[in-house]
Structure 1
Amino acid sequence: MPLKNDAPIQISAFSWLPPFAHGVARDIRVRWALEEAGLDYRTRLVDPRQPKTEDYLAEHPFGQVPSYRDSEGTMFESGAIVLHIAQNCPALLPEESQARKRATIWVFAALNTLEPAIFPLVDLEIFHANASWAAERRPAFRERALSRLAVLERTLGNKHWLEGQFTVADLMMVHVLRFLRPTNVIGEFPRLVAYQARGEARPAFQRALADHLAALSAAAS
């Protein structure tokens, strides 16, 4: 849905990010979920280079993004926000009980099992690729990422989506896979390459990404 200044839902996003973070910041997860759910929203842009105001810290105690506000109150942590949005959206969470549970499990797997396993490698390639210690540590970081990706590809199998239909689990998993852009590891898993491409081709993702990038561009001009 289009951004609307009077929308009852407000999310926060950073107004500036270093280039490597363009297109992967966690506000995209929430934007994407809102787009899939057909919910209008507005944004509160926060400059990460400036001290956080007290009223913003009341929304997000760690001063990060995204935060979320609706008529019921405020939230932070992208996983919690996305699951909150999904609760009343069959397009994101199946109505059948067991499928709903499995989709929720895979959201947590994306956040707690896959993301921590890939981040040491991603961090190394972005910030320390030429450091004296990088060559020694890269194989272990790479192996950890590969082992988790292998499980994900085996679970996906020949399915288009983890639960057969697109759910919040795929939304979260595809976003986590995007963090791997500075590496070449996902290329070893053709099914995951295709899976990520399917997620990124969804119109809701394209709108979410465009709005995320537009906010960064507008703030820079």
Structure 2
Amino acid sequence: MAKQDRAALAAIQNASPEALQSYYDDWAQAYDADLAAMGYRAPQVAARILGEYPVVRAAPILDAGCGTGLTGQALAGEGFEHLVGLDLSAASLAQAEAKCCYRRLVQCDINQPLPLADRQFAAAQCIGTLTYVRDVSPFMRELCRVVQPGGLILFTQRKDLYGDAFQAALDTVTAQGLWSLLYHSEPQPYLPHYEAFGRAQDIHYDLYRTAD
């Protein structure tokens, strides 16, 4: 990945959906190798967290913002068998399909209502993608809608973006009785070998249980 593209990664969070799709389409072929070089381990950490809870391994799991499928690979490594992935980038979805760990892949903008039926997933995750979610509360309500009662929702968010507005958005969903917090991690490394990010871009892992 060229240095100018690395700089763009730090600035692209406010891009339009069209620009974001183009950016990740262009990066899809090199994405896995580049993220490995940056020290990216969030998919494996997230999969281990989800794997510590009594989620049936054959139950449907939603991977929102699945990208090239690194997150799906990690879930499959924990024994999860029925994965559905969503992403904006068609080229990234092609890379995810080649990994053969998803039952279904859907191209969509997760800032819009999800093209999924109610209560069909035992769990959902969104790893390394909330940077691009413009309005957090509606998205989290959508995850609550498609996850079964008593199911799990796991996501990451960067420390520098986990401010009062983000917490208020999560609290709104809690106040609406849609979920309750099970686990909130201390900040953990995100891209430790990426020079444009420092400790301010460490990430939190949050796990919620949907209402029964």
**Range of TM-score over shorter length:** 0.3 to 0.5
Higher strand proportion (structure 1 or 2): 2
TM-score, normalised via structure 2 length: 0.33
Larger radius of gyration: 1
